[in-house]
Structure 1
Amino acid sequence: MFCKMLPLLFFFIFFFLPPTILCLNQEGLYLHQFKLSVDDPDSSLSTWNNRDPTPCNWAGITCEPTNTTVTQINLSNFNIAGPLPTSILCRLTNLTSLILTNNSINQTLPLEISLCTSLTHLDLSQNLLTGTLPHTLSLLSNLRYLDLTANNFSGSIPNSFGAFQNLEVISLVYNLLESSIPSSIGNITTLKTLNLSYNPFQPSQIPPEIGNLTNLEILWLSSCNLVGVIPYSFGKLNKLTVLDLAMNNLHGSIPSSLTQMKSLKQIELYNNSFSGELPSGMSNLTSLRLIDVAMNRIGGSIPDELCRLPLESLNLYENRFTGELPASIADSPNLYEFKIFTNLLSGELPENLGKNGPLIWFDVSNNSFSGRIPASLCERGALEELLMIHNSFSGEIPASLGACRTLARVRFGFNNLSGEVPAGLWGLPHVYLLELVDNSFSGSIAKTIGGAGNLSLLTISNNNFSGAIPEEIGTLENLQEFSGGNNLFNYSLPESIVNLRQLGILDLHNNKLSGELPKGIQSLKKLNELNLANNEIGGKIPDEIGSISVLNFLDLSNNRFSGNVPLGLQNLKLNELNLSYNKLSGEIPPLLNKDMYRDSFIGNPSLCGDLKGLCDVKGDGKSADFVWLLRTIFIVATLVFIFGVVWFYFKYMNIKNARSIDKTKWTLMSFHKLGFGEDEVLNCLDEDNVVGSGSSGKVYKVVLTNGEAVAVKKIWGGLRMETESGDIEKSGFQDNAFDTEVETLGKIRHKNIVKLWCCCTTRDCKLLVYEYMPNGSLGDLLHSNKGGLLDWPTRYKIALDAAEGLSYLHHDCVPPIVHRDVKSNNILLDEDFSARVADFGLAKTVESNGKGTKSMSVIAGSCGYIAPEYAYTLRVNEKSDTYSFGVVILELVTGRRPVDPEFGEKDLVMWACNTLDQKGVDHVLDSRLDSCFKEEIYKVLNIGLMCTSPLPINRPAMRRVVKMLQEVGAESQTKSSQKDGKLSPYYYDDASDHGSVA
């Protein structure tokens, strides 16, 4: 076939190519064809047009020096796109190395790749290749290096791979491979590196034939859905240096045959179900530097022979180890990571721990350790994290830790520590979390705390701290929480505390504080919890507190406040209000004069209101009777007027709707206790009350007789759903959407999922009655001329609310629910801009079938929000929602729509990525956002980019997304990068926090 096309090829060359190309040799012409066949948006191949007779000086091209034939092509990070033109590349007969990593090569890898017979190195990692792995790859008899990491290959690994003759490295990480690992892999006896991690294989055992790979040096099989035990044949892998079987479902004991692998440097078996004890003979592993068997069921004592090895990282956390920690661990000269939290260990820590090794991360929390804290923990001056919570440590904090300026995270809570805290510890410059709760510390907060410029969380409750809170605390501009309840602090609150603009929680209850509240407290705009109960604070309660819009917890009880209850408190949406047992007087503000607040005001003898037990006798009898009479007349007249208006309104509406709706044929199904009937809803379904229309029907606002409003979606049966702008065709009829909405929302109870009150049905019409969202949808508000009203704190709150709603669907519902149509138009906002996820007409449950996925018959969703793998596999899982939510985050950060003519053929995700690379982050952010929030916005943008990763395996679960968003405000310092081959920083956050505040 090729021979027949040669005349046409030469005709094209001589008559259509420019003269500058005609001087190229044959291989240059082939490469020019390659350039024409791919998309090069950044003009990375611009040098491929010069007048040289050979392409040897072109970017990314390497030639053999004697005969100028092309031997290597390396176009890494060139941002080229399109299918891989193997029919062109394979004509380069001496091509030995082809590297196209981190581009946008798409479609499938052609079978013709086997025609590149000279290839020894093939790297197509980090592209967009799909389909199955070509079974012809093994025909590349000279191939030594094969890397197809981070693509979208699916199907199984071909058995033919066992026929590779010279292959030394194979990496298929982060793909969508299914089935199981073929036993034929064991036939590639030349193999040195085998990396199949992060693929959704079916539950299967490790092929024992892998033990035949006696030249193997690196084996990575983490997160491959492996079950069963580690094959005993692994003992034959004498050259193995790295063994990673983490995040699988392996069980049984760790076989003693592993101790025969004398070359091992790194063992990672965390997050499995191993039990028993660590095998004896660990002393044979003289090269071992890292061992991580965390999150298993391993028990017994920690072997002394293990601690005598020259370890750099020892992770044994979340197991069942008992006994004392061997003293030999203190002699390890290279130990920088030591995490043994959540075990059953006891006794004292070795006295010289940290003296010989450069400890960086140290966590012994949730054990039964006792004795003193070793003074040598920061001897080498590298310690960043020191976590010792939930033990029985006693004595004082060593003064040496107050000089450890590298510390960033300190947790001593829930021990028996006492004495004064070293002055230097209060003022460490990099610490963002200082936790001392539930000990017996005494003394005062040192003035050196002014040097802790990075401090975000200060929790020192339940101690014996005393003295004045220093004015220097007002310099901590990053402080978000100050919890110091149940101490002995006295004097007044420092005036400087009003400078803490980021403060969200101020809890100093049960102290001996006096004086008055500092002036300017209204400047604490982010304060949502203020608890000063059980102190001796007096003066008036400032009316300005009512301007702190996010405040929802206010407890000033058992103090000496006097004067009136501020009217401004009526402006707050308080979940908790307690002003009891003070010296307040006057009338209770009308909106607070309700039974639900009665206990909030007791113990104020001069405080009057219509609540039982509060100022029952008001003034003299005549004056009180006259006031009562006027009030009664006014109330009766008002009620008569309202009754007349309501009667006339409903009389009119009954006449108007009598012809259109037969109320006797409606069936009502309620999902909550209702304060209304179907008649109230049906009477208001006219065009004057329409507030919107979408793909599944019209939406009405219905104001009930009690003054509350509901939203009613009206769906007509027997018609195919309309397709709204931007929506791809949604499968099924309206009945399907109605049934799905009812089935899903009827059983869901969550603050961030829209509440379905009830549904009403007849043969031809169906109604869904929801809680009403006054601020409409996020999409309508964000992309209208009112988008400027959404400042960054509001956008951040919306993102967190929506993430919590989706996390509930994915992780707390059984079976999990996939929304399938997450978008800004389906995120509704109440009067406080709290977000609710809505529109469950396309929702699907995800069955636990081992794969966690479910195939759909057609594509459903909205343009710009559909995950790339969903578009071509029709397979839906929770990661599809994660992608869509990531697009919503990008909308919040950029202020742009998911699809826009300005983007051309790109969507918002591609536009954001390209703009970041070419122009920088400032060109991505919404110009309407205040620049003072840049750092926080950058972090949220990064979360959005993680959620929209092309590979589902790279996207975090929604539970992880919630935690990352929560940490954006609490952590201003990024964790130090982990060592190669270790878990990500976010993973360690989960492990180290033990479910607590940090």
Structure 2
Amino acid sequence: MLRHRYSLCFLLLVLFSPPLILCLNQEGLYLLRAKVGFDDPNGVFSGWNPGDDTPCKWNGVVCDSATGSVVSLDLSSSNLSGPFPSILCRLKSLSFISLYDNFINSTLVEDELALCQSLEHLDLAQNYLTGELPRRLADLPNLKYLDLTGNNFSGVIPDSFGTFQKLEVLALVENLLEGTVPAFLGNVSTLKQLNLSYNPFSPGRIPPALGNLTNLEVLWLTETNLVGEIPTSLGRLAKLTDLDLAYNSLTGQIPSSLTELTSAVQVELYNNSLTGEIPSKGWANMTSLRRLDASMNELTGTIPAELCELPLESLNLYENNLRGELPDGIAKSPNLYELRLFQNQLSGELPPNLGKSSPLRWVDVSTNKFSGQIPENLCANGALEELLLIENSFSGEIPATLAECRSLLRVRLGRNSFSGEVPAGFWGLPHVSLFELAGNSFSGGIAKTIAGASNLSQLILSSNKFSGSVPEEIGFLDSLLEISVNDNILSGSLPSSIVNLGQLVKLDLHNNELSGKIPSGIHSWKKLNELNLANNEFSGDIPDEIGDLAVLNYLDLSGNRFSGKIPVGLQNLKLSRLNLSNNHLSGDIPPLYAKEMYKDSFFGNPGLCGDIEGLCDGRGGVKNMDYAWFLRSIFILAAMVLIVGVIWFYLKYRKFNKAKRSIDRSKWTLMSFHKLGFSEDEILDALDEDNVIGSGSSGKVYKVVLSNGEAVAVKKLWGRTKSADESSDVEKGNLQDHGFDAEVETLGKIRHKNIVKLWCCCTTRDCKLLVYEYMPNGSLGDLLHSTKSGLLDWPIRFKVALDAAEGLSYLHHDCAPPIVHRDVKSNNILLDADYGARVADFGVAKVVDANAKGTKSMSVIAGSCGYIAPEYAYTLRVNEKSDIYSFGVVILELVTGKLPVDPEFGEKDLVKWVCTLLDQKGIDHVIDPKLDSCFKDEICRVLNVGLLCTSPLPINRPSMRRVVKMLQEIGNGNQPKTAGKDGKLTPYYYEDASDHGSIA
């Protein structure tokens, strides 16, 4: 062996002289060969010097102090890419390998991995590995820790995984594993942590054999398509500290055997389909229970008193059908920091000592039937950050103790029966960003102490009894985005400092008693989108500066005492709402608005003149008055005759049409996918041109307001186009039939908060109607690329990106078989009243056959220009990666504000334009200038996600599930989670639980 080493030294001297190098040992040479296979943009290997005699001082390498052999290699989070270097298994003493959070791709060669006989710890989490799980990993006799989280492994878990000899941690989270959760894992008696969460398994039950894992401490089966009841055998897991069965379809009650888990620290049953009541007995045995999450189920009954007497840290039971009172025992939990019970039917008062003994941080009991006063000790430990009591029957005043709660970030007390004055200190809490008291009976004034609320972005005080003037100090809050204090009794003039609010997007003060002039200097409101001062006593001229507010979309100054002329500069605005009625305005109406369609905007201003009939009283002088009156009389008489004729014709037509419809409607077929509160007659009666809100290649879309006041959107598909060549029917007329079938087949069977809801479909031989939930804010594309883009600040754009990502992730990973949308674009992302996003238009969606190998080839390209993935355009082969590319383009739209294809780009599309501009000019030239620079860091991180999604090579694009996770981490201000380090992956069960039922 020594002779061979000297021969190798001689060879190295010949190859590398000059300069002279020392003789690197064999293990160092193996490591250098592993290095060659990696792309190393961060220079992690820059210190791996072949001139060293040993690799023991190299970055990431640890050697045994006695033998000098390499025992550990840790290159976590090093931005490395390339295949897994199997040559590492030639390091005979290597027991620890971690390549966590890199871009390791390709498959694992199991025959070479089987040579790692000394390996105890293998962490390849958060990479891009593909293929099936290597069967021979179970042959490694010393392996104790195996984490393959966040890759793209597919296929079933091999049965050899039931034969591990010493394995303590098995984490296969967030892959593409199929089959069901296997029972043979119950044979690995050494397991302490088993984490199979977030995999698209087939529907299956929890194997009772898992109850044999008596050493198990952590069991995570989140979102693994579990069905049936929880097996009683889990009660044998005496050492279990963490049980998570979230986001499945489990049924039945929580078995009483689980109450025997006296060591259990965390039990999560989130988002299942559990029914029945929470057992009232047996909880007393669970003396160590710390966290319970049974949210988003169908639980009924009351909250057991025994449960609330446990030393809980977190209690999440929101979105169920629970009733009764919250037991007083919950107030005795010494470590309780989270209490979320919103959207139930709970009643009674909150325990009076709630918070007195607990470091409460988040309290959300919104949308229940709670009454009584706010407990005065909620912030006794100075940790309370969120207090959300929306939509209850709380009454009384805000406790003075809350005025000292400087930790508060969000306060929402809207739609209750509170009264009295708000404590002065409560106005000035320094960290509160959202302050909502709408829909109560609060009185008194807005205190000057509001000057201390330096982080305030939303002030919502609508529909109360606030009086007095708007304080000058409000102009000091330069973070304010929204002021909504309408429907109060405020008086006096607006403070001059209000023009300093340069970030202001909405100012709504209508229905008050405010007076005086609009202060000069409002041109600084560059981001103002809505200005509503209606029904006050404002006077003076309408400022010319209003015409400089480029993104102003809503302007209502009606019901005041404004005088003088209408500023011509208003013609610079793109207004969807204009109302200047009932003032004292005079002169000519600006030509842009001197049209019949704006007539209602100017009523009640006797001095106004224009080309609108009825708005020019007295113009022309006395000598022309009689002639004008004569002409007017003739016109009125002719109009009356015309109106009578039209009414007669309409009644005759309606009678005829009604008779016709009574015959035709018998031919309609209604297929519903949800419980309906309307009939097809309501839909058919409203399909006239006045209700058209959109028209595209597939048909017209109507807004239909139902008799119950709710609205739905109805898509009427174009009739079939006849073709002489019936063989081309799919490409021609019959394409719409296929689109209809795809839409019905897809949307009829899926349910997700970020997928547009299809209520029903109506069909006849010649007409097809699809009835959806109505989205008040239209499509993302229309809003983003119109004059209304100022509405979309960065927080809203980020929310839209995350919502859409979650919808697509559901299609790709949670539908069995998976669904590929094939036409992901900003115009197919619809926005509700709170800018929540829904993925829509499934006319070209395709189901991906789970048994088919590779991708599916299509006969024609579906999709829209600028969104189509390169490999799809060239090969007509489609899979989930095609959708991911399109979604990446949507992210780039949100970041840049640009269209996917624009003449500005020349021959490039948006993806190439962004990449080129980043290289040549930097990030500042890519980000939409409408976005606030304070979000630059977050915007840059989201842009990186978009660039990753639009990678030219499909294998380099992350799965949609991983995209969701990356966006969630960005939204929480975190770096990528260290999934697998403790056997857990932190779930994000709600994006922002406080925004349910929101008016903000």
Offset at residue 932 of structure 1 (A)? 8.8
Aligned residue runs from structure 1 range 59-458, under 5 A? 59-86=59-86, 88-112=87-111, 113-279=113-279, 280-458=281-459
**Residues 596-636 of structure 1, C-alpha deviation per residue, up to 9 Å, x if partnerless?**
2222222222223333433354233655799999xxxxxxx
**Residues 8-29 of structure 1, C-alpha deviation per residue, up to 9 Å, x if partnerless?**
x979966875366671222222
Q: Distance in 1 between matches of 2:915 and 2:220?
A: 31
Offset at residue 546 of structure 1 (A)? 2.1
> Secondary structure of the equivalent of 1:203?
coil
Alignment TM-score, normalising by the size of structure 2: 0.74
Q: Distance in 2 between matches of 1:983 and 1:162?
A: 23
Question: 2:464 maps to what in 1?
Answer: 463
Aligned residue runs from structure 1 range 736-815, under 5 A? 736=731
Offset at residue 49 of structure 1 (A)? 2.1
Offset at residue 319 of structure 1 (A)? 1.3
**Residues 925-981 of structure 1, C-alpha deviation per residue, up to 9 Å, x if partnerless?**
437876993222333333344564723212239xx98x999xx9xx9x999x99999
Q: Distance in 1 between matches of 2:93 and 2:277?
A: 55
Question: 1:686 maps to what in 2?
Answer: none
In structure 2, the CA distance between the partners of 1:595 and 1:924, relative to structure 1 (3 Å rule), is: closer
Offset at residue 32 of structure 1 (A)? 2.2
1:951 and 2:951 aligned: no
Asked if structure 1 preserves the Cα contact closer than 8 Å seen for 2:427 and 2:447, the reply is yes
**Residues 305-327 of structure 1, C-alpha deviation per residue, up to 9 Å, x if partnerless?**
11111111111111122111111
Question: 1:55 maps to what in 2?
Answer: 55
In structure 2, the CA distance between the partners of 1:806 and 1:362, relative to structure 1 (3 Å rule), is: closer
Q: Distance in 2 between matches of 1:794 and 1:924?
A: 20
1:882 and 2:887 aligned: yes
Q: Distance in 2 between matches of 1:442 and 1:526?
A: 31
> Secondary structure of the equivalent of 1:479?
coil
Question: 1:542 maps to what in 2?
Answer: 543
> Secondary structure of the equivalent of 1:341?
coil
Q: Distance in 1 between matches of 2:565 and 2:248?
A: 63
Q: Distance in 1 between matches of 2:431 and 2:799?
A: 30
Offset at residue 739 of structure 1 (A)? 7.7
Offset at residue 94 of structure 1 (A)? 1.9
> Secondary structure of the equivalent of 2:346?
strand
In structure 2, the CA distance between the partners of 1:46 and 1:488, relative to structure 1 (3 Å rule), is: same
* AA partner of residue 302 (structure 1): I
> Secondary structure of the equivalent of 2:264?
coil
**Residues 680-736 of structure 1, C-alpha deviation per residue, up to 9 Å, x if partnerless?**
xxxxxxxxxxxxxxxx9xxxxxxxxxxxxxxxxxxxx99xxxxxxxxxxxxx99985
Q: Distance in 1 between matches of 2:225 and 2:853?
A: 14
Q: Distance in 2 between matches of 1:804 and 1:585?
A: 49
> Secondary structure of the equivalent of 2:146?
strand
* AA partner of residue 96 (structure 1): S
Offset at residue 424 of structure 1 (A)? 0.7
Question: 2:557 maps to what in 1?
Answer: 556
Asked if structure 1 preserves the Cα contact closer than 8 Å seen for 2:179 and 2:202, the reply is yes
> Secondary structure of the equivalent of 2:619?
coil
In structure 2, the CA distance between the partners of 1:383 and 1:211, relative to structure 1 (3 Å rule), is: same
**Residues 104-132 of structure 1, C-alpha deviation per residue, up to 9 Å, x if partnerless?**
22110111211212211111112211111
In structure 2, the CA distance between the partners of 1:300 and 1:268, relative to structure 1 (3 Å rule), is: same
Question: 1:992 maps to what in 2?
Answer: 994
Offset at residue 790 of structure 1 (A)? 14
The alignment covers a number of residue pairs equal to 841
Alignment TM-score, normalising by the size of structure 1: 0.74
Asked if structure 1 preserves the Cα contact closer than 8 Å seen for 2:492 and 2:516, the reply is yes
Q: Distance in 2 between matches of 1:423 and 1:802?
A: 37
Offset at residue 463 of structure 1 (A)? 0.8
**Residues 274-303 of structure 1, C-alpha deviation per residue, up to 9 Å, x if partnerless?**
121222211111111111111111121211
In structure 2, the CA distance between the partners of 1:173 and 1:991, relative to structure 1 (3 Å rule), is: same
Indicate the larger mover: 926-935 or 201-210. 926-935
> Secondary structure of the equivalent of 1:90?
helix
Q: Distance in 2 between matches of 1:851 and 1:305?
A: 49
Asked if structure 2 preserves the Cα contact closer than 8 Å seen for 1:823 and 1:888, the reply is no
List runs of 5+ in structure 2 lacking aligned partners: 631-686, 691-696, 698-722, 744-755, 757-779, 830-834, 950-956
List runs of 5+ in structure 1 lacking aligned partners: 630-671, 676-695, 697-716, 719-731, 754-776, 783-788, 829-833
Q: Distance in 1 between matches of 2:606 and 2:852?
A: 62
Asked if structure 1 preserves the Cα contact closer than 8 Å seen for 2:309 and 2:330, the reply is yes
Aligned residue runs from structure 1 range 697-736, under 5 A? 736=731
**Residues 840-884 of structure 1, C-alpha deviation per residue, up to 9 Å, x if partnerless?**
9x9731459999999532798899984999999834585554334
In structure 2, the CA distance between the partners of 1:628 and 1:141, relative to structure 1 (3 Å rule), is: farther
In structure 2, the CA distance between the partners of 1:978 and 1:430, relative to structure 1 (3 Å rule), is: farther
* AA partner of residue 993 (structure 2): A
Q: Distance in 2 between matches of 1:317 and 1:799?
A: 27
Offset at residue 807 of structure 1 (A)? 8.5
Asked if structure 1 preserves the Cα contact closer than 8 Å seen for 2:264 and 2:289, the reply is yes
Offset at residue 387 of structure 1 (A)? 0.7
Q: Distance in 1 between matches of 2:959 and 2:119?
A: 27
Aligned residue runs from structure 1 range 847-886, under 5 A? 847=847, 855-857=855-857, 866=869, 874-875=879-880, 879=884, 881-886=886-891
Q: Distance in 1 between matches of 2:807 and 2:738?
A: 13
Q: Distance in 2 between matches of 1:128 and 1:347?
A: 52
> Secondary structure of the equivalent of 1:45?
helix
In structure 2, the CA distance between the partners of 1:51 and 1:22, relative to structure 1 (3 Å rule), is: closer
* AA partner of residue 212 (structure 2): N
Question: 1:35 maps to what in 2?
Answer: 35
Indicate the larger mover: 162-171 or 205-214. 205-214
Q: Share of identical aligned residues, percent?
A: 51
Indicate the larger mover: 364-373 or 59-68. 59-68
> Secondary structure of the equivalent of 1:161?
helix
Offset at residue 261 of structure 1 (A)? 1.1
Q: Distance in 2 between matches of 1:601 and 1:532?
A: 15
Question: 1:767 maps to what in 2?
Answer: none
Asked if structure 2 preserves the Cα contact closer than 8 Å seen for 1:865 and 1:887, the reply is no
Offset at residue 182 of structure 1 (A)? 1.7
> Secondary structure of the equivalent of 2:925?
coil
Indicate the larger mover: 177-186 or 927-936. 927-936
In structure 2, the CA distance between the partners of 1:601 and 1:931, relative to structure 1 (3 Å rule), is: closer
* AA partner of residue 110 (structure 1): V
**Residues 405-437 of structure 1, C-alpha deviation per residue, up to 9 Å, x if partnerless?**
111100111111111101111111110100011
Offset at residue 456 of structure 1 (A)? 0.8
Asked if structure 2 preserves the Cα contact closer than 8 Å seen for 1:396 and 1:421, the reply is yes
Offset at residue 988 of structure 1 (A)? 3.7
In structure 2, the CA distance between the partners of 1:812 and 1:519, relative to structure 1 (3 Å rule), is: farther
Offset at residue 985 of structure 1 (A)? 9.4
Question: 1:708 maps to what in 2?
Answer: none
Asked if structure 1 preserves the Cα contact closer than 8 Å seen for 2:98 and 2:124, the reply is yes
Offset at residue 365 of structure 1 (A)? 1.1
* AA partner of residue 882 (structure 1): F
Q: Distance in 2 between matches of 1:673 and 1:608?
A: 34
Question: 1:942 maps to what in 2?
Answer: 941
Q: Distance in 2 between matches of 1:797 and 1:166?
A: 48
> Secondary structure of the equivalent of 2:478?
coil
Offset at residue 350 of structure 1 (A)? 1.4
**Residues 21-56 of structure 1, C-alpha deviation per residue, up to 9 Å, x if partnerless?**
671222222222222233333332233225443322
Asked if structure 1 preserves the Cα contact closer than 8 Å seen for 2:505 and 2:527, the reply is yes
Asked if structure 2 preserves the Cα contact closer than 8 Å seen for 1:847 and 1:853, the reply is no
